[in-house]
Structure 1
Amino acid sequence: MILAGGVGSRVGADRPKQFVEVLEKPILAYTIELFQNMQEVDSIAVVCHKEWISYLTEMIEKYHLSKVEWIVPGGETFQKSVLNGVRFLEKKLALEDMVLVHYGAAPFTSKRIIQDAIQVCKEHRMSVSCTPCYQLMGTNDEDRTSCKWVDRDQYIQIASPQCFQMSYIKEIYDRAEQKNIIDTTEPHVTSLMYALGEVIYQSYGDQTNIKITTKEDIFLFEGYALAKARQTEQEH
């Protein structure tokens, strides 16, 4: 499930960040290709901003993204977009099937990250790509001050893909709806898990696996895409 329902206003572009073009190609196309090229992935559902569905359809055809089987309209919030995807897929998949949930604006993910997410999910019914905190950390206090050191080894950075057995993610959203916490618990599936007292099982992540949030991230990905293209040319 590729999530492409957001606006991404912090990028400051004239379109949602997942549709910003890097080297004349939408970021979302790079992201979908990661899963298109994975043998372990059978089908792809894209949860898309309603106003961009026709653009997405053209993009899928242009870049031959044949594993995209379903397009689901996004919701008003991240949680409601995921919920739309879950409610759609529960009618299409078996309860024992696995669903990778990934951000459309996270094109840095690697084959190793996806494969480990699947492997850990097989063992625990769920997994989340996590990265250790490598930078020094401190508190963020008033007036741009920091008054207390924070032990970075006590924390992790949570990213995507997040992998779930279909029965598990369905159960999470069923319980969240029963407790009426979907509207108040943002921004991710993991937020709901914490709120419900669930344990998160970590899969492999690294410092390159970031989600594009700012203009600087787009420039970073452009350099990454150029390096990948050069590597491909050398291999052939």
Structure 2
Amino acid sequence: MAQTPEYAIIVAGGSGSRMQHDLPKQFIEVAGKPILMHTIARFYKYNPAVRLVVVLPQEQLNTWRELCRKHAFKLFHMTVAGGATRFKSVKNGLGAVMGEGLVAVHDGVRPFVEVETIRAAYEATAKYGSAVVAVSPKDSIRELTEEGSRAVPRAKYKLVQTPQVFQASILQKAYEQPEQEHFTDDASVVESIGETITLVEGSYRNIKITTPEDLILAEAFAKEGSL
């Protein structure tokens, strides 16, 4: 039986602003290579046949090509110009997905995602139509109210990560609707068309590198051999 095609849309739309860095965060080097290259390599390690679609701001495409040359980065991937918002960037990436298949959407600055996590997400999607990677909060949580704030039971909440994987037809249909303010990730877009979201256990190492503190953690993980 033919294998269902697997796609990974890797969204890297960041600038260096929160990182207090001149370089867009996905291009900052960790363990001698831009973060985005490590992220792509994770999906390739999971499945060398995965169809990789990297979404970058239009003005960063040439820089990325130069970085690939400089680092002799040979893992095959398509590049697509992103949009003004994450929603538009994912939609542009989806334009490269042909026919049915399983489509992961992943943050370009999450290079420590484990191959086992990626596998579990694709497998759950093959069964249930969707899979969203999430972890339990470590800290206590308070909900803001009109009166101030109140404690809420931590066990009832999950912190959402990526990859978020969906059947291609479901994701395409979800992204045909107009963008809305409450769309913070792909799960919220898909849920809004009435689809059920399945959660898959993530990892506390699957950090999103967005601030200088994250970079310190990333270097520590890299030294331990996590890349």
Same fold (TM over 0.5): yes
1:60 equivalent among 68, 78, 83: 68
1:16 aligns with 2:24: yes
Please point out which of 52, 69, 76 is paired with 2:84.
76
Equivalent residue number for residue 171 of structure 2: 169
Contact 2:170–2:190 at 8 Å: present in 1 too?
no
Q: Which residue of 1 aligns with 2:206?
A: 209
* Mapping 1:1-236, distance limit 5 Å: 1-7=9-15, 9-39=17-47, 41-61=49-69, 62-68=71-77, 70-89=78-97, 93-95=98-100, 97-140=101-144, 147-174=149-176, 176=177, 180=178, 182-228=179-225
Structure 1's 47 and 101: CA in aligned 2 closer, same or farther, altered over 3 A? same
Percent identity of paired positions between Structure 1 and Structure 2: 32
Stretches of 4+ aligned residues off by more than 6 angstroms:
none
Cα deviations by residue, 1:69-123 (Å, 9 ceiling, x for unpaired): x11001000000001011232xxx221x111111001111001110100110000
For 1:192, what is the secondary structure of its paired residue? helix
Query: Which consecutive residues of structure 2, in runs of 5 or more, have no partner in the other structure?
Result: 1-8
Say which SS state the counterpart of residue 18 (structure 2) adopts: helix
CA spacing shift, 1:224–1:74, aligned 2, 3 Å: same
TM-score, with structure 1 as normaliser:
0.84
Q: In the superposition, relative to structure 1, how do residues 183 and 147 fare at CA in structure 2: closer, same or farther (>3 Å)?
A: closer
Amino acid at match of 2:173: E
Normalized per residue, the structure richer in helix is 1
Deviates more, 1:157-166 or 1:132-141: 132-141
Does the CA-based 8 Å contact 1:35-1:41 persist in structure 2? Answer: no
| Deviation (angstroms), 1:19 | 1.0
8 A Cα contact 2:130 2:196, kept in partner: no
Matched residue type, 2:175: Y
**SS of equivalent residue, structure 1 residue 101:** strand
Which sits farther off after the overlay, 51-60 or 162-171?
51-60
TM-score normalised to structure 2 length: 0.87
* Deviation by residue 1:21-56 (Cα, 9 ceiling, x = unmatched): 223321111111111212264221100111111122
For 1:198 and 1:6, locate their aligned partners in 2 and report how far apart those are by CA, in whole Å. Answer: 29
Matched AA of 1:225? A
